[in-house]
Amino acid sequence: MDISPADACQVERVVELLHQSRSLLFITGAGLSADSGLPTYRGVGGLYEDQHPEDNLPIEVLLSGAMMQRRPDLTWKYLLQIERAGRGARPNRGHEVIAAIEQHFERVWVLTQNVDGLHRKAGSRNVIDMHGDLRHLRCMHCSYQEEVETYDGFGLPPRCPDCQGVLRPDVVLFGERLPARQLTTYEAETARGFDLVLSIGTTSVFPYISAPVLDAHHLHKPSVEINPGETDVTEFVTVKLPLRAAVALDAIWQRYSKLK
């Protein structure tokens, strides 16, 4: 896809920043995985945009930790819909570029809100999947865990083969705390700081997602936002690229590779 001269100029600015950096933090949201055909819960093209699901409750209630405890069958009904909507999705060019960049810089981390596991499938190793992974299941009553490819054949709710307790995906449902392991890594790595922060495909509404960009601003370090729309951090970034994630990252990587 061709980009406008104005966007090409901004791409050049990002490439310059990359050449001046040794450590990078990529912050990614649903806008990155949208290029793999994955819908979001809400927003443009969202799975439940402008409507309540058929049970006449907000999706934030249906996909909450409280509902999983009280009515796991109801929560699983919508988890199955979400998994089915994204089944077969593969990493797109944006995921591939981020994984490739990791091989060429001293220190690179990915902080993602996405629960699709596509960063790791693309080859990224340093991933903080702050909201977990839909493919990783655990029992709510014992220590049983497993990785699955699809939710095909699951009951409502699926049961643990060891104790017959309810299985659940190892993700952060609405109203639940962030996982301790991911939070510890996040705090340690952000405390070290980064030469360049890139926010991609996220509206940055969560404080822990916007914080690295705001910290960079206050510390007079550069940051980049790749997002077609305006977000909570737009006014604080050094470079704004109003493009789809995969398009922008491909253009950046092609230009950076030519100038290496």
- Kindly report the CATH number assigned to the domain that includes residue 13: 3.40.50.1220
Record the pTM: 0.92
pLDDT at position 8 is 96
Same structural domain, 68 and 105? no
The count of domains in the chain is 2
Q: What is the per-residue pLDDT across 142-193, written as a single tens digit (0 to 9) for each?
A: 999 999 999 999 999 999 999 999 999 999 999 999 999 999 999 999 999 9
**166 vs 46, higher pLDDT:** 166
Same structural domain, 152 and 240? no
Task: Label residue 54 exposed, middle or buried (CB < 10 Å: 0-12, 13-18, 19+).
Answer: exposed
**54 vs 253, higher pLDDT:** 253
Q: Which residues touch 166 (CB under 8 Å, ≥6 apart)?
A: 72, 139, 140, 141, 157, 158, 159, 160
The residues annotated with a catalytic role in the active site are: 131
The domain containing residue 114 runs over which residues?
5-36+91-131+177-259
Q: Which of 171, 193, 222 represents a domain boundary (last residue)? A: 171
Same structural domain, 162 and 127? no
Same structural domain, 255 and 228? yes
Same structural domain, 97 and 181? yes
Same structural domain, 214 and 243? yes
Please name which of 250, 257, 260, 259 lies closest in space to residue 8, comparing C-alpha atoms: 250
| Residue 52 belongs to domain with CATH number | 3.30.1600.10
Same structural domain, 211 and 255? yes
Same structural domain, 28 and 154? no
Same structural domain, 56 and 78? yes
Same structural domain, 143 and 219? no
Mean pLDDT of 1-21: 94
Same structural domain, 111 and 165? no
Q: Which residues touch 230 (CB under 8 Å, ≥6 apart)?
A: none
Same structural domain, 48 and 15? no
pLDDT band (50, 70, 90) for residue 88: confident
Q: What is the per-residue pLDDT across 91-122, written as a single tens digit (0 to 9) for each?
A: 999 999 999 999 999 999 999 999 999 999 99
Q: What is the per-residue pLDDT across 198-257, written as a single tens digit (0 to 9) for each?
A: 999 999 999 999 999 999 999 999 999 999 999 999 999 999 999 999 999 999 999 999
Tell which phi-psi region holds residue 167, choosing left (phi > 0), alpha (psi between -120 and 50) or beta: beta
